[in-house]
Structure 1
């Protein structure tokens, strides 16, 4: 029998990258963040006192911080003992998008922090596949990821890949997820992934289908933490204004933008389904449709639990996952603007997961079903291992 506990105990960590700036630290601002479904704010601070103020405010609403401030480098023996026992400290920000030539310096810095605190998380965010070749110091992308995981003692693999450019999916997106998933498994690490949640460069205004496509795509490849770039709208630097940073989750005064409710909706859905994804392993991922992404596998035969399983040629992602003695077949509609119908019939005892409640729905083997999947959304089937 299936066991489902309403309210789910497990949760997916959700990070607001470039969270609440030090000049805007307040309990109210962290509460707004919490209400959108965030559990972690990632932010740099100019000094220890501001970091402590942020930790105190965040603690009052149940937010944790990944942080950096200069004294972590200059006076670790003084600064780390003052924060390491704070209940709101999640971990230390070590660096973003390093070159391979940076790895040794990162290791030295990590070793210093570990001298004073070896219990919290260490956060390093890696480059995406589409970064310029110069960022990889002459090695291939998969070798870059492999070396990073092998050399850097971070707590989990984090990488950013913003796949929606001019409202089209980058050709490298799914290959990037394949590589991260493969290398994370090789080294027995979990990985966390991003969605782009702000206008900048050629990234357009965030929409519901696009956020779902990114975050559920991450989860179907096995991500164990989700991140958003950015939470706060970045306007404190003239270059950010020039690059048109806007429509992030909150504006530069902390007021929710239209993106706020979109992200809140997705985060709430993710947590309703956390019993599926938290701790899950992505066993195999396939793609359907006319254009199979580079570096991925085409679905050749239908899952064995079904006698009929058809996306009618539409672009879809099919993930076979396992978690806590259960198996899942999950279908994602990869279109940003068109609904998809999955036609299916069962030949084994399978249940469907309700996206609204996260609860299980009985299905009948004799029935042919046609289920609508909205753009970017998913349909989950569950059965006993």
Structure 2
């Protein structure tokens, strides 16, 4: 239990965290991977290269310090991180390793300012946070195993089908190698896939949204090929495209994620950019299968028709169901009157988009999400009705 004095010491470090948080977290990761290189098989090393993970951790540590009096206000963030951790098979013993290196990093970065009392305060704060996190993750693990076909950790799946959806995106149909059922999931969730990357001699996990409604037999992920990329993120996606064949085995973790379809009585607007449509496809298909008749608006932007995945499926759904409409935006002009030219611009369709009693789901790059979130809030949309999914470690603090 933290004392009042310890909480005050942690809060006193907030200005330092705002100024040098990324320096601290960068030093922490470098230190941890130097002393515990086995953790490189768990962490996304691509996000180490682009500083996304360092930035995300710095933001999380800052938020925790700012709310040290009442960490309960961070529960939505804790759930999101916990979902990611369970998908990576993070266990309580990992928190002990992280804690040791985090406190050491604080001491080494702050130097003389890291007094024994301050280090004791941050040790108590970390123990508190680790208890909250691992306790929540234990609940998530228990919920996974309670499901029919559920599991924790890594389970081998067979790639039974590879289907090209566009010039860039291919779908992978994954069936459990043990022949058992697959656990249900909530539309919008993702899987972690783990492959060995010979280029860097590491096992590496990556998250891919489930792109089909739950069916109890298989999972589908739809992956964008990162042409010309030598970045570790691109290496995983490209290895799936170029080296994983039908019949191959890959390791998969149970579905996770907090960006999920809500029980709907409202009309729905889906807004996606590029491969960001994948979790929204799962949500839309699930709504159709449920027989929902609430108005649904599908808004999607990509470069051109060649890279536009699932266009035939979407056209079929909008033709068959009068309550579903779609608005497409292509960066490159197609000469098609049914397609808008340029980036997604909600102002062009504001009368359709901004409606009362509507829920919004936005998925894509951070700049895409920020733009449309700002548009909706400026139009008076309730923030609680806007749900977001940013690919990669969270860098947005909007809700």
The structure with the largest alpha-carbon Rg is 2
Give the TM-score of the pair, scaled to structure 2.
0.26
Q: Which has the higher helix share?
A: 2
Q: Which has the higher strand share?
A: 1
Give the TM-score of the pair, scaled to structure 1.
0.27
